[in-house]
Amino acid sequence: MGDSNLTSSQPKVRFAPSPTGKLHVGNLRTALVNFLYAKAHNGTFMLRIDDTDTERSTPEYEAAIRADLEWMGMAWDCEDRQSDRIGRYDEALAHLIETGRAYACYETAEELGLKRKAQLNAGRPPVYDRAALKLTAEQIAAYEAEGRKPHYRFRLNDAEVRWTDLVRGDVAYHMSSLSDPVIIREDGRYIYTLASVVDDIDHGITTILRGEDHVTNSAAQIQLFEALGAQAPQMGHLALLAGADGEGLSKRLGSLSIEELRTNGMRAVAIASLLSRIGTSQPITAFASLAEVIDGFDIAHYGRATAKFDPSELAMINAKIIQSLDFADVADELSDLAVTDEAFWLAVRGNLEKVSEAADWWAVCHNDIETIIEDKALCDAAITALPDGPITSDIWKDWTKAISAATGAKGRGLFMPLRLALTGRSAGPEVAGLLPFIGRERIVKRLSGGA
């Protein structure tokens, strides 16, 4: 049923988002690890839209997911969607029923809740008791006569399931500790547990990389693969993201969308740089390109330690990347900001955290600003000492030396009053580099206390 042309050296992986919300850092990390694994091994990266939840899935969310992946540079090699594959799930369910591995259940959610509560009160694990297997034909007929629709469960074999996890190492679960998983709801909607396995078989998926919250689900799915006549793919379960303090992500951080990060000036390669390294034994690196992220990827470096996501660390990586960008790398973005001068970019980039901040400094240089005269005598001396001829960054050294000689000011007492008067700000790019863009007229006007 799988693709016989794929080998372990050419893996086929999938990212299977549900279009019920926007991508956030947690599910993007899962997508990224799958993408990097495929590209690092000359494999195939598949996008599968898990849209069987028709009540919550929307075309708008799907479009947003696709846009985020494209912006990240994570092109997929093939795609499919679950809503087009209901017939295959019907076939798989019929096979499981015929072979005794799936069975109909008629309990309501309330009845199941009462059972679980009674088991817990009695000190027993809340494992489904398979009462549905003992129903008589008369009882089933009575349920159906009152309008009940069955949901179906997959019958687990009472055995231990073992696999060698790409992240966690040797893993073992005994199925007696798990409930038979529901695979189709009473309303006819297929659950991820079955649909995903059928998809993975049909699409020839060789490797499944996902969060560690799926470990017990994977144990059940391994039996499901076998019940459908297939061998389970390799599996790797990644540690879930936590905040910088190691605690679970806050609601705000947990929902931090890629769209929000993009809007806030984060670059795709900065996000990829951080998400590809947290949870690994490798140092965080500000990569210059996605190709470098791929070259530095190795699933063997991922471990079970908590993966810590720190927005401030992302901001630092983003700044480091921006400060190394050539004008050609950002020319289109700067043009949109009405910044078109390469020399200006080179003058300000070393102090930027976001490309958009270049426009702020362009405005500082070219527009009226609120000047701050901290030392009027020094500013007056600066006007007198301002050399004739073109205003270039090269005049700064001799100019400030002349101002110091006239006033006795040195160090911060010399440079801060000049910065405040010329830019209205206490920090930023080197003032020398800004002088040509401020120009003689504005320099004199600002030192005089004007805008």
Query: What is the rounded distance in angstroms from the CA atom of residue 43 to the CA atom of residue 38?
Result: 4
Query: What is the rounded distance in angstroms from the CA atom of residue 358 to the CA atom of residue 347?
Result: 10
CATH superfamily for 251-322 is Glutamyl-trna Synthetase; Domain 2 (1.10.1160.10)
Q: What is the pLDDT of residue 369?
A: 92
pTM of the model: 0.90
* Architecture of domain 12-81+194-231 in this structure: 3-Layer(aba) Sandwich (3.40)
Q: Where do you find CATH 3.40.50.620 in the chain?
A: 12-81+194-231
Q: What is the pLDDT of residue 249?
A: 56
Q: Where do you find CATH 1.10.1160.10 in the chain?
A: 251-322
Q: 């670059």: which residue's tokens?
A: 267
Q: What is the pLDDT of residue 3?
A: 41
First to last CA, the chain: 74
Which token pair is 422?
């010329």
Q: Where do you find CATH 1.10.10.350 in the chain?
A: 376-447
Residue 39 CB coordination number (10 Å): 21
Q: What is the pLDDT of residue 251?
A: 44
Q: What is the pLDDT of residue 360?
A: 95
Q: What is the pLDDT of residue 8?
A: 52
Digitized pLDDT (tens) for each residue of the chain, 451 residues in all: 334 344 457 999 999 999 999 999 999 999 999 999 999 999 999 999 999 888 889 999 999 999 999 999 999 999 999 999 999 999 999 999 999 999 999 999 999 999 999 999 999 989 999 999 999 999 999 999 999 999 999 999 999 999 999 999 999 999 999 999 999 999 999 999 999 999 999 999 999 999 999 999 999 999 999 999 999 999 999 999 887 766 665 444 545 899 999 999 999 999 999 999 999 999 999 999 999 999 999 999 999 988 889 999 999 999 999 999 999 999 999 999 988 899 999 999 999 999 999 999 999 999 999 999 999 999 999 999 999 999 999 999 999 999 999 999 999 999 999 999 999 999 999 999 999 999 999 999 999 997 6
Query: What is the rounded distance in angstroms from the CA atom of residue 266 to the CA atom of residue 201?
Result: 37
Q: What is the pLDDT of residue 244?
A: 73
Q: Where do you find CATH 3.90.800.10 in the chain?
A: 87-184
Contacting residues for 383 by C-beta, under 8 A, at least 6 apart: 444, 447, 448
CATH superfamily for 87-184 is Glutamyl-tRNA Synthetase; Domain 3 (3.90.800.10)
Contacting residues for 162 by C-beta, under 8 A, at least 6 apart: 170, 171, 172
Measured CA to CA in angstroms, residue 57 lies from 20, 64, 86, 186 at distances of: 5, 12, 16, 19
CATH topology of domain 376-447: Arc Repressor Mutant, subunit A (1.10.10)
Q: What is the pLDDT of residue 340?
A: 87
* DSSP string computed for 267-281: -HHHHHHHHTTTTBS
Q: What is the pLDDT of residue 248?
A: 60
